[in-house]
Structure 1
Amino acid sequence: MGTREEVTGMGLETLELVVRQLRWEARDVVSVRLEDADGETLPGWTPGAHIDLHLANGLIRQYSLCGDPADKTGYRIAVHLAPASRGGSRYVHENLRPGQPITISLPRNNFEMLDAPNYLFLAGGIGITPLLGMIGEAQRRGADWELHYGGRTRAALAFLDELRPHGERVHILSEDREGRLDLPGLLGESRSSTLVYSCGPEGMLTAVEQFGSAWPEGTVRLERFAPTTRSTPDDAAGEQPVRVVCRRSGVTATAAPGCSILDTLEDAGVEVPSSCREGICGSCETTVLQGIPDHRDDVLSSAEQAAGKTMMICVSRALTDELVLDL
């Protein structure tokens, strides 16, 4: 097994792997296969899971696993070269090469595929990646499913060869030929015993939320690759200081306006697992013992946020003057 260790100051267990293969899957989309240097088996994962890549330029980026969960010899991700890349996708495309070592996190899943008789998969662009494993799992379960997959051009749509054997279950649309996905038609009326899984650009996901608002709670499930505006406030206007009590460690600290609870606790010497620091990866999820969180993440469902049992302390704050956390 590849070397496991804790990332200093993050509390996240990692693996040391090597880049085994890179392959073009579409225009500006490259898949990367990662394996153990000695050929040992890797920890298992379930459809919807992702890993963090710890890149040599100091960045940490999350990518969905898009291979076969039954394949324990390697992990596959796919990376789209973003036009306005902040350094992550550009580094992968320009610097990763076969044989290079790379540090990754263990797989974790914030986009779990629940059991259902029917699935409606909606993908936009590189958002196809977490859905590939789900399609295979739906096949294995004998569930009924359909995929609607759209992008700007057909040349930019990845994994079409893998999807082709599924025939009429798969509906491919490119904006320059057929137009955009018909989300109002697909989501206008809720379907009995159907779960919706969607991943893609923010504009598409906002539309899925809008047109799927009449579906029963929890049946329309989204995964975002970037935080929404609610998890990245422009300033600290209107924020109040939050007194944070860490029950297990005995540490108490005050998160000032404009300073996250995560940063505050790290400054106070409390080690908390963290990665994205944007409210999208779920690694800093923390149990709330007392107080009411002000949720600003893109991981928890509305029902989970309403329950207030956990929170993502990298972006969320509090509606009460004090929070007591299980840290």
Structure 2
Amino acid sequence: MNDWTPKPIPSSALAKLPLTAEEGFVLSRLDGSTPVRHLPALTGLPPERIQAILTRLVAHGAVLPAPTPAPMPPPAVPAPRTGAASEEELPTGSEEPLPVEEEEEEAPGDAPAEAAAGNWRQLFERQLHPLPEDERASRARAAEDPELSAFCFDPVPAVIKSVLENTRVGLPHARLIARHHHNPVGLEALCGRAAFASDAGVRRWLVRNPQLPSGLFRRLWSGRRLLEQYKVTMDRDVPEGTRRTAREVMRTRFNTAPAEERVELILHTEGRVLASLVGLAVDGKTAALLCGRTYRSPMLIQNIARWSAAPPALIAHLLKQEAVRRQPQLRLLLQRHPNAPADARRGG
């Protein structure tokens, strides 16, 4: 039983299940990859208590039951290697984007935590919020879960600072604060912990928090990759003020980023980012890297053709592409570009 890895059922209507605060807390710690034997250290609850809670979660339909042992499969015979290139390999000079470290889209424990958050909020509003602020701050400094998670909903920055001083505080609490605390002072305190500020889940909720100070955003995102900054500018869940700051940060970063990172941004967005880079030029290395690729995407070619800062060498390179030769409207767009070669404009 200790080797069993409990897996939450994503399709369950978790918010409607009759879970206690303790059951919701344990459920929020199940990420589908942590075995039962590690849960006592993760939750602070004794093993027998964990087993009893997991039994009830299975009965509620919130967790898959422990599987029966499956027979050992026969050993796989490796397929013979051939000299042919894999279908996933790209020819040198392709316009396909370079590999990128993607931002974590959804943290593993977020789905069950969403259900448990309702219980923690109720615990805070009904039992903790009526207490005086000084008492809440003192109590938060030594609290254990589920009370510690409930204190993450406190609107007072002093209480949040006490939560962050608690030796039991971890990433799940930091993500709750980033999402539900709406005071810039408390958010600044949260990001004073480097381990929390660098967590993808914390950053995801911070940018969606309408009280995130623009100065804090600049400190946290100014050194991040251009593509990550671009994603913030396009995320509709991010408040417009933060998206506007993200565009400013991205433009500033574009001026100093390595040429490879600029090319990566342009290719991954099929040139859509160029509309946000009006007035910015590229250096010779960036132009050379762009000119060293084959272009097949009409969208990418069209967006470059509408980019006023497109280098003359890049316009000339695009005019030689097979995709441009087959589509007169693309060729006409490029021929009308102010940086198009003179002989190309005469030919149009």
Length-normalised TM-score, structure 1: 0.24
Query: Is the strand fraction higher in 1 or 2?
Result: 1
Larger radius of gyration: 2
Query: Is the helix fraction higher in 1 or 2?
Result: 2
Length-normalised TM-score, structure 2: 0.23
> Which structure carries more relative contact order (alpha carbon 8 Å, separation 6+)?
1
